[in-house]
Amino acid sequence: MRVKRYVAETLQDAMLKVKMDMGKDAVILHTRKFKEGGFFGFFGKVMFEVTAAVEDTVYSPAPAVHSKNQPEVHALPANGEKDGQEEMPDIQEELKEMKSMLSEVMTQIDVSQDLKAFPKSMQKQYQIMIENDVEDRLAKKLLKDAMKKLGQEETAETVRECLDQQIIKILKKPKPITFKKLGLSQQLIALVGPTGVGKTTTIAKLAATFSIVDKKKVALITADTYRVAAVEQLKTYGEIIGIPIDVVYTPQELQDALAKHTDKDLILIDTAGRSHKNTGQMIELQSFIEAAGPTDIFLVLSATTKYKDMQDIVNSYSDIEVTRLVFTKLDETSSLGAILNVVSNTQKCLSYVTAGQNVPDDIEVADPVKIANMITGER
């Protein structure tokens, strides 16, 4: 095993030297920041030191690149005064963990190198989008498209305006619940989604909006019998709003309840929150959906959910014909990039967003312009 020490003015430059000299199999053993020169520790130049190791069998350095501005690379014995060829007992046990760390750092270096192709105004906008949880792949695509459109005439303002327009195009025109102007047709909407995202409150907001504001005949059906509190909550909302509510335990009971409300303009079905990791629960949910035959299925997601978890949730509902997306809890987060990611990856239309617990006030039709402005704006 060979161990070497690399010194540079930035950690990124030091890591780049490791990559060029030792290759992708190098393992970072230690990093530190120190001051070089100066007077009694003052006015010194900040430097970065990275100690890396690589197995002799895979050691294949790239051609050396010399620059007057690059600090000299120093070799360091593997174990103090001992020969660098000696085995370090602890290194072998730590190789796997350190390789993963190195891989992550190398990825960051690659990203940084890619960004150099963009003007500084776009590099800043990239960082803003990443901080707002936009996928790296998508953020770069948006920037590349913006650069093609703007050419060399870009400014920070024109870049943001161009990105906003692209994001609005991806989000598409929202699709809320609508009725035909002549001869109203019944809308049967089922809300699905994991536990804790606010389905019950959302369905109450929709019921109140269409019943009180739009003067539609509305009925509620809940199959969320796993949570007694949710049933009681919806019953309370139904009494306040003045609309009927049915509690069903089986797909057959759901069909019977639907048969009672053929005169209604809108029927909203609240399903039980399912764990996207529980296959049995997902199959049971599908049986309720098949029995209902809804005109639309809204997948309700919380904007506060980590995007990786959101991806798992969306994938778990792939066997159900989700038609539209509802995002809740926008008041609890300032990062809305996950909304853009989900819409881009699923090609499903947004319908509603919620921000708060007040019924029926804290719900509105999704506004792509507002969402785009939040994604491209600094937090």
223 part of a folded domain: yes
Does 77 have pLDDT greater than 50? no
Task: Look at residue 83 in the predicted model and tell me its pLDDT.
Answer: 44
Is 111 in the same domain as 206?
Answer: no
> Among 99, 115, 131, where does a domain finish?
115
11 part of a folded domain: yes
Confidence of residue 9 (pLDDT cuts 50, 70, 90): confident
Give the range among 28-32, 234-238, 297-301 with minimum mean pLDDT. 28-32
Is 340 in the same domain as 256?
Answer: yes
Is 131 in the same domain as 102?
Answer: no
Confidence of residue 124 (pLDDT cuts 50, 70, 90): confident
Is 201 in the same domain as 291?
Answer: yes
CATH of the domain at 343: 3.40.50.300
pLDDT digits (tens, 9 = 90+) for 285-340: 899 999 999 999 999 999 999 998 999 999 988 888 999 999 999 999 888 999 99
Is 111 in the same domain as 124?
Answer: no
Is 284 in the same domain as 340?
Answer: yes
Is 209 in the same domain as 322?
Answer: yes
Is 209 in the same domain as 336?
Answer: yes
Q: Which residue has the higher pLDDT, 358 or 178?
A: 178
Number of folded domains that form the chain: 3
Is 195 in the same domain as 292?
Answer: yes
Is 210 in the same domain as 234?
Answer: yes
Is 239 in the same domain as 130?
Answer: no
Q: What secondary structure, in 3-state letters, does the chain show?
A: CEEEEEEECCHHHHHHHHHHHHCCCCEEEEEEEEEECCECCECCEEEEEEEEEECCCCCCCCCCCCCCCCCCCEECCCECCECCCCCCHHHHHHHHHHHHHHHHHHHHHHHHHHHCCCCHHHHHHHHHHHHCCCCHHHHHHHHHHHHHHHCCCCCHHHHHHHHHHHHHHHHCCCCCCCCCCCCCCCEEEEEECCCCCCHHHHHHHHHHHHHHHCCCCEEEEECCCCCHHHHHHHHHHHHHHCCCEEECCCHHHHHHHHHCCCCCCEEEEECCCCCCCCHHHHHHHHHHHHHHCCCEEEEEEECCCCHHHHHHHHHHCCCCCCCEEEEECHHHCCCCHHHHHHHHHHCCEEEEEECCCCCCCCEEECCHHHHHHHHHCCC
Q: What is the pTM of this model?
A: 0.68
361 part of a folded domain: yes
Query: Which segment, 178-192, 238-252, 278-292, is predicted with the most confidence on average?
Result: 238-252
181 part of a folded domain: no
201 part of a folded domain: yes
Q: State which residues form the domain around 54.
A: 2-115
Does 134 have pLDDT greater than 90? yes
25 part of a folded domain: yes
102 part of a folded domain: yes
Query: Which segment, 89-93, 123-127, 277-281, 320-324, is predicted with the most confidence on average?
Result: 320-324
Confidence of residue 66 (pLDDT cuts 50, 70, 90): very low
246 part of a folded domain: yes
Is 340 in the same domain as 235?
Answer: yes
